[in-house]
Structure formats: C-alpha cells, structure tokens
Structure 1
C-alpha cells in the first residue's frame, strides 16, 4: 500500500519526544529527543537522548541533577545545523514546590556531543537589578537555530513583569520572541542559581503592548516564530536580507476580536557590533526594550487569521515563502503560504480533513510534512498533491507531535505511541521518502 514502511528506531520503556523541528544532526546520523511521554511533562522530564538512524543505538547525553516532580525539567531539543551541539529547554536549577518549572523559569542549555553531561548556558539570566544588557530576566523556550547556526531564536516570558502583574493591574505577563547571537554575557551573583552567565547575547525582537489599539498593527503576544530562509530572503528592491524572523502576533480588529496575523522582523547584519541602549536590559517596571534597529511589520491582513493546532511558522529554504495553518472555506485547517514581502496568500493543501500537527518544509523546498487523519502526510508545494505515507493509526498507538525532515530531504522522523508489556511509550519512527 505504501512505498516504504516506517522503521521503528527506539524501543526503550520511556518516552522519546521529538521537537517540532531540527532534530537531525548535520550528518543525519543522530536524532535528538527528550524523555517525555506526554507533551506537557517537561517539568518532570530529566533527560536528553540520541538515537542513531543507522544502528538504532540509544544513548543519554544529559540528565538533570536533582530532578524532582517540580523541576528543573528538560525538553524540546534541537540540533545545530553546522555543529555537533544541541540546545534544549532547561528549568531553573533551584526548582522546588514553591518555585517550580514555569514559563518564566526556564533557559536554553546546550550540550556538545563530545562532552555529554556538561551543560552550556546559552542565554544569560539575571533577576536582580540593575539588569545587564544581553541578559534576560525570565524564561526562553522553543529555541531554533538560524540556517548558518550562528543565531538562535526563542519565545520568551519575563519573570520580573509576571511578578509585577500580581500587584499592578496595568501590567501583564506578555509572551514575546527574541534572538541570541555569539557574544558572552556575564552577570552578577551567580552563586544564586536564579542567575547564570551566558555564551550568547540576547535581545527581544518583537514589540508587545498591554492594550493594543483596535484596528492597528499593535500586538499583545508574539510567538511561534521561524527563521526566514537558510540565508534570508530577497526584498522587493532585489537586495538580500540575510537574517530575518517571521512570527505570529495577536492583533485586535475593529470590534476588539483577537486575530493572529504574521509579522516579520529584519535583523541587521552587524547586530553583534551595535551599541545598544541600556533600555534593552529592562527595569523593575519595564520589560527589556526591542532595539530601535529592529522594526516589525505585518505581512498578512485576513479576517480569520492563523488557525488550527499549535504550530511554528516555517519558511522555504530560499526564504521566498512563509508557511502557516489557516482555515479554508470549509473550516478545515490547511497549509497556506505568504511572501515575507507581503501580498497575496496562497493555499497549499486542499485535503478533505484538517492538518492536525505542526508543519515542516523539506530542506529541498519541495514538500510540506504533517499529521492528518492519524497518518503521516507530505504535500508537494508546487502542485498541492498530498501523499499518505503511513497507515491510519488508532489509540492507544496514535501519532503525536510533528513530522521532521532529515537535512538531505531523504527521510522523515515522527513519533507514535507503541504498546508493550510495560505500558504505552512514545517511540521514534523513520520513513524513507
């Protein structure tokens, strides 16, 4: 019935959760996972592992010291596209019942494969004022490498603002996005494990406000971003923007309804050498400011906005298109695309059922992958032709998560629950394309 049968790679009696993208090593020999068995279990998950795509060898490369039911917790690991390094969410090290793992209490930690169990704190964190430019005061997550592996984007929640919101009704804990680039940041008082130095310099990249004006491009939430292109995109004037991020932003229409639209922020090539103002560090009453050199712009103007299961935006390798989920005329979640320069939106998939997972674009730019109708699908972007790659699975052995491409576009990895004598565990499967 299918050209290739899925090959089961993992068999251990624990979860093997794939991140929503970038799970293959640069040579496609390894796939990284965390040991969650359910999506929401980062708080209680203590290990990051690898499985070999050829031999199915499994090995753990990092285990959290002093893991408890309150944290620290690890999860959502992704491979650098150019180095044997992975980055993942790591809860703050002093997690306990009073201060458990939370949105504002996590950071990005990396592991080099040649040095397992040696955590590298990527984004600096400092919770005591005066705050340090380049450090953050909250929680980063959903870390994603740029095409050249030099920068990392992330979604962010600020601990200082979250605490202030408890006593000041005018303040809200607003989710936003940011990026980090190579430039070490040192902070004060690292004896307090709420604080840590960082290998990279972090800035926020999206402006969010507590009360967006109706019918404007102001947003109160920025989230689930992607890098545009492997090497940026071509602007309308023919010049190449080398680094840019697309993200989802919540605006208010004229009636006050929340609509999720797509925004783009272009990143200066000389960002690492810019002289940022002190306001990028934030104060005890303000969140870190977005550098003035970064300007966000809205590229979609729809009535219903982005719709469907939670997903991260994805870009074609050449940066010409940004892909997202939205409802078609029948109310089904389909894949659509738009140019980072704005303009018309195009429908890519036209299935008789909704896309039910995050999406990914093959590195050769030809296909989009996803889960629908409890099967793994790919759709040819140029023609809209969809292909079912697996049988239709049923509980308790159902599919879960995203379908992620290898770097050479020759295979996809995905998660499916498998029942054994010891329980039902999330395992990793591979299909050759």
Structure 2
C-alpha cells in the first residue's frame, strides 16, 4: 500500500478510466467529496514520483470535475460548469458540458442549443460522467435536459447518451448560453415520466458502461406491478456508420419543446434482467455503482442482493439469460467496482479492504490490510497494465489517493 497524494485538500478519482495509457499517471479533480462541485482544476499525479501537474484551470467562475482519460492518447475529458454563473444560470445537472483537454488545446465535446427548433447533434442541457469507449472513438455520458426542466423539473428525466466524432456541430447562438461542440451527440435511451407498472418502460437511465465498442449497458428504473421502483439492467446496440448516427427514428434526434431528444433510427433498449419476483428485487443503488463489461465484452457485471440481503457481484451475458451470482460473501460489497484489464478478476471494497474476486469462481483475495480509514466506495480502478490498483482514502482529514500492487 502506498499513499500517492499528500497535499491538504481532497483528491477525487472518477470511477473508471483514471489512469494514463502508460500506467504512470492518475488524473483527478479537487472538488470536496460529496455533492459539492466547486473544484477549479483538473490535475494528475505521477504514481512513481508523486509529481503533480495541473492539466486545466477553470476561469470566469466556472468549476470542473469528474475527469476521465483517453485509452491511448494524451486526452482528458471532464465536466465543465458554466462560466460567469448567475442566479438564472449556475452549475446544475442540466447546466454542464463535456470538455476535452488535448496537448494544451481545449474544446467542447458536446454542443448545446436551447432555442427551438433546436439543432440535430446538439444537446439541450447538461452532459456528465463522460467515458471513452474501449477504442477511444466514442464517449458515453448521462444527461439532463434544460428545456424540459424549465417546463417542469419532473419532466427532466435522466438519460444516457453517446458522442461520436461526426462533428463539428454548429448552433445558431440565439441564446448567450449556447455553444458549439466538436462531437455529434445523441441520446440512446428512452424514458417516460410514468412507466406502466410491470412493464419494460423506465423513467430514469443511468450508470452506463461500455460493452465492447458498439453496445452500451445501463440501469433503468422500472415499476413493479405494485408501483415500486425496481432498477433493472438494460442494453442498446449502437449505430455503426456516421449516417446511421444522424438518421432520426420515430421522433426528432434534437427533441421538441415538449419532448426529450430521441435515439437514432434502429436504436432500441432491451431489458436484460427481470428481478421483480426476487426477495430483494432490482440492482442496488447503494453502493452507487456503474455496470461494467469485461474487456472481452462477453459478461456484464452488476451489484444485486442475494436471497439473504447481502450485496454481491452478479454476471449476465449481453444477449441476456439468467444472471449468475459470482460472489458469495458474508458481508456487503461496499463500493463501485472494475474489471482487471485481463478480464480474469474484478476489484472492489469488501470488509474495509481492497479486494479482488476471480471472474470464474468468485473466490476473493484481499490486496490490502490495515487501512487507517475505510477506502472510499467511489472508485477502485486498475492501471492499464494491470499491475496496480488505485482508490481514495481519508488521511489526516483529507481524501488522498492510494495504490497497491496487484501481483499480476
């Protein structure tokens, strides 16, 4: 176990893609832990020397955070809040965007147009938790809509979207808060404010994860026959070519004043889990976790309670079928998790230690012992070479970054 950061401030890792491709640097932001979004810099630390570099510094009152790293190039992608925030337009779920820092150059990932009739390829609100696909060609994100939020916040349903390199997207600029983007952005999930109980309809899509480069899995909130929320696992097959991403389906890609932006033609979400009948139905929201596919794109992992009520790891094929319980621990997994780059194991927090389980047998091995404080449940991230794992832990009153060797 090795402490990597020491400055008297918080250091926040994102839940995936925090390492540079050479496994030497970890990217982080400096916002306080919790929901506060007040950090002004995106930084990185060298895990060998402890050297810290500032990648980006926000100006004009903006705040930044939740940085992820491109799998092969020196590119950093993060949430950017509004410049010159005021009482009418300040940081919120529907007031933020993705920004790319690449070799000192800064660009907006997504465009935003909030003036009807809107612009295809642009969003109408805030994108967040941006994650590159394994080949680095596409970016997934979760989304909240400014236009519908202004009509009624209850209509601003969280969705999942994808940005693809089919831009740039130029917007008319009829509102001072609109901006252009370098990527073409669309939603790929479909939600409704009032799902039919017992159906596959959802009113929220979130915590997505790439399944290879052409599919995206996510959690969707269904309603049981009795009207209770049950989070289930869904998947979408994504368009292949540029023209397919720009072809509208049964509703406009850019949405209307009354409706959310719609997925491209042929994109339909498919439900993978059916857990309404279980003793503890649904995927868990505590701990917060993101569904994750193995590198081979043959199994998707998620957290769900077993029949004794203990949070365990489960696996399912992208084609569906019966989920397989992987772990059989005596206590809850208490964190988000990630696959080892080999696909042979998964890492998480168990019994206040960093643990790994075999992806075939579920057998658990602990990588750490004797933590001063419990590891944070926000992130357990393997280096691309698989030799190290990083997490956060409160040390002397501040959230610091730690690493350990995996032995592989």
Q: What is the TM-score with the length of structure 2 in the denominator?
A: 0.94
Alpha-carbon distance in 2 for matches of 1:272, 1:227: 21
Task: Write the distance in 2 (CA, Å) between the matches of 1:258 and 1:284.
Answer: 28
Q: For residues 223-247 of structure 1, give each alpha carbon's deviation from its aligned partner in whole angstroms, at most 9, with x where no partner exists.
A: 1100003x5xxxxxxxxxxx00001
Residue of 7, 14, 22 corresponding to 1:19: 14
Encode CA deviations 1:296-330: one digit per residue, 9 max, x unaligned.
Answer: 11011113010131111000111111000000121
**Residue 353 of structure 2: aligned partner:** 375
Question: Partner residue of 1:186?
Answer: 170
> For structure 1, which segment, 324-333 or 182-191, has the greater mean C-alpha deviation from structure 2 after superposition?
182-191
Task: Please tell me the root mean square deviation across aligned C-alpha atoms, in Å.
Answer: 1.6
| Rounded Cα–Cα distance in structure 2 between residues aligned with 1:190 and 1:403 | 43
Query: Following superposition of structure 1 onto structure 2, how do residues 31-430 of structure 1 map, counting pairs within 5 Å?
Result: 31-42=26-37, 44-67=38-61, 72-112=62-102, 114-115=103-104, 118-165=105-152, 172-183=155-166, 184-189=168-173, 192=176, 194-229=177-212, 231=213, 243-272=214-243, 274-277=245-248, 279-303=252-276, 304-307=281-284, 308-393=286-371, 395=373, 399-419=376-396, 424-430=397-403
| Partner SS, residue 280 of structure 1 | coil
Superposition deviation, residue 361 in structure 1: 0.6
Maintained 8 Å contact 1:37/1:425: no
Summarize deviations over 1:20-66 as a string: whole Å, max 9, x none: 00001111121100012313122x11110001122211011111102
**Equivalent residues of 1:373, 1:392 under 8 A apart:** no
1:392 shift after superposition:
4.5
Q: CA deviation at 1:399?
A: 3.4
Per-residue Cα deviation, 1:120-151 (whole angstroms, up to 9, x for no partner):
10011112222000000111111111011000
Give unpaired runs (5+ residues) of structure 1.
Answer: 1-5, 232-242
1:274 deviation in Å?
A: 4.8
- How far apart are residue 372 of structure 1 and its match? 2.1
Q: 2:340 touches 2:382 (CA, 8 Å); kept in 1?
A: yes
The CA distance in 1 between the partners of 2:206 and 2:310, in whole Å, is 22
Aligned length: 398
Residue 271 of structure 1, CA deviation: 4.1
Distance 1:186 1:361, change over 3 A: same
Contact 1:78 1:143 in 2 (8 A): yes
Shift of 1:158: 0.3
Q: Contact 1:393–1:399 (CA<8 Å) still a contact in 2? A: no
2:148 is paired with a residue whose SS is helix
TM-score normalized by structure 1? 0.88
Alpha-carbon distance, 1:380 to partner: 1.1
Q: Residue 28 of structure 1: SS of its match in structure 2?
A: coil
CA drift of 1:273 comes to 5.0
CA–CA distance in 1 between the matches of 2:375 and 2:321? 38
